[in-house]
Amino acid sequence: MPSHEADVLTGRRVAIAGVAASALLACMNITAGLLAHSTSVLATGLEFAGDVVASTIVLGGMVVAARPADENHPYGHGRVEMLAGFVVGVIVMGGGLGICYQSLQAIGATHPPPGRAAIAALIIAIVIRATMSAVKFRIGRRIQSGSLVADAWNDAVDILSATAALTAVVLTMRDPVRFMAADHYGGFVVGVIVILIGIRITREASVELVDTMPEPGMAKQIRDVAASVPRVRAVDKSHARKTGLQYHVDLHIHVDRTMTVEAAHEVAGHVRSEIRRRLPWVADVLVHVEPAGAPSSS
C-alpha cells in the first residue's frame, strides 16, 4: 500500500477511536455529574458530547478528502478536510459559550456536595484524553492533517478543563460551606478554556483555507530538489498551497535558452517526478520553464 494511502487509513482509524473515546467519556461524566451533583463534571461531560460531533466531522472530512480528483475538483477534495477542522473549531467555541452560561446560571444554587464518583470520572477522563491527544498530534502532524491536529487540540483542552473541574470538585468536597460555588466556577473556567482553544483551531484552519505558504523549511526542500535535477540552471518562483493532506506546487525553473521545447519539457517532467518521489507530502507539481537569463514571467 502506498505511504499516502496508508497514512490516510491510519488517520481514519485514529478518528474512529476518537469518536468512541468521546462517546464513552461523555456518558460517564454526564452520569457522574448528575449523580454526584457536580456542575463542573457535568460541564465536562457535555464538552465530551460535543467532541463526539467534532470527531465525527473530522472522520467525515478525512473520508471525503481521500476521494480522487474529478472533472469538477481537479485538485481533489482535500479542502473538505481543512473545512472539517474549521467546523470543529466553531463547534468547540459554541460549546464553550454554552458551558460558561450554564455554569454561571448554577451559581448560588444549593445542593449536596459532589460525591467521589465525580473525582473518579475526571481522573479516568484525564488519562484517556492524554493518550488520545498524544496519538492524534503524532499521527496528524505526520500525515499533515489539519482536522486531526485540531481534534488533538480539542483533546488537549479537555485535559485542562477536566483538571480545572477536578480542582473545583476537590475544593468543594473539602469544605462545602466555603467552596460550594467553586464547583460552578470550575465549570465556567472549563468553558473559557474551551472557547480559547476553539479560537485557535479556527485560526489555524483559516490559515490553510486562504492558501498560506508552507513553512520555510518545506518550501526550501521543494526548491532544493528542483535545483538538483540535471540541466536546471536555477529555480525562480516557488508557490505551494495545501489541499487536504498534501500540497500542490507551482514552480518556475530556468534552463539553457538554446534548449529545444522537447528537451525543456523533458527537464520539467524530471523535476515534477523527482519532487513527488522525494517529498511525499507533495501531491503534484506544475512546472513552468523559462530560458536562463530572460526576465521572469509574472
Number of domain units in the chain: 2
For the ranges 34-38, 134-138, 227-231, the lowest mean pLDDT is seen at: 34-38
State yes or no: pLDDT of 116 exceeds 60: yes
Q: 284 lies in a domain?
A: yes
Same domain, 239 and 181: no
* Mean pLDDT for all residues in the chain: 80
- Which residue is associated with the grid cell 449536596? 112
Most confident of 21-30, 40-49, 59-68, 163-172: 21-30
Check residue 34 and give its pLDDT.
Answer: 82
Who has greater pLDDT, 298 or 75?
Answer: 75
* DSSP β-ladder status, 282-291 and 246-255: parallel
Check residue 1 and give its pLDDT.
Answer: 43
Same domain, 134 and 230: no
Check residue 295 and give its pLDDT.
Answer: 55
Same domain, 202 and 223: no
CATH number where 261 lies: 3.30.70.1350
Q: 298 lies in a domain?
A: no
State yes or no: pLDDT of 4 exceeds 70: no
Same domain, 205 and 221: no
Check residue 264 and give its pLDDT.
Answer: 92
Q: How many CA atoms lie within 13 A of 136 on its CB side?
A: 28
- For residues 195-213, give the mean pLDDT: 79
| Backbone phi, psi, residue 122, to 5° | -70, -40
Same domain, 157 and 245: no
CATH number where 196 lies: 1.20.1510.10
Same domain, 61 and 179: yes
- For residues 33-49, give the mean pLDDT: 78
- Tell me: the pLDDT tens digits for 156-180? 877 877 887 788 778 777 776 666 6
Same domain, 147 and 261: no
Same domain, 136 and 259: no
Q: Can you give the residue range of the structural domain that contains 237?
A: 216-291
Check residue 236 and give its pLDDT.
Answer: 84
- Tell me: the pLDDT tens digits for 241-252? 887 677 889 999
Q: 121 lies in a domain?
A: yes
Last residue of a domain, one of 161, 190, 209: 209
Same domain, 197 and 262: no
What is the value of pTM for the model shown? Answer: 0.60
Same domain, 225 and 193: no
Per-position DSSP letters for 13-80, written without gaps between them: HHHHHHHHHHHHHHHHHHHHHHHTT-HHHHHHHHHHHHHHHHHHHHHHHHHHHTSPP-SS-TT-STHH
- For residues 171-193, give the mean pLDDT: 71
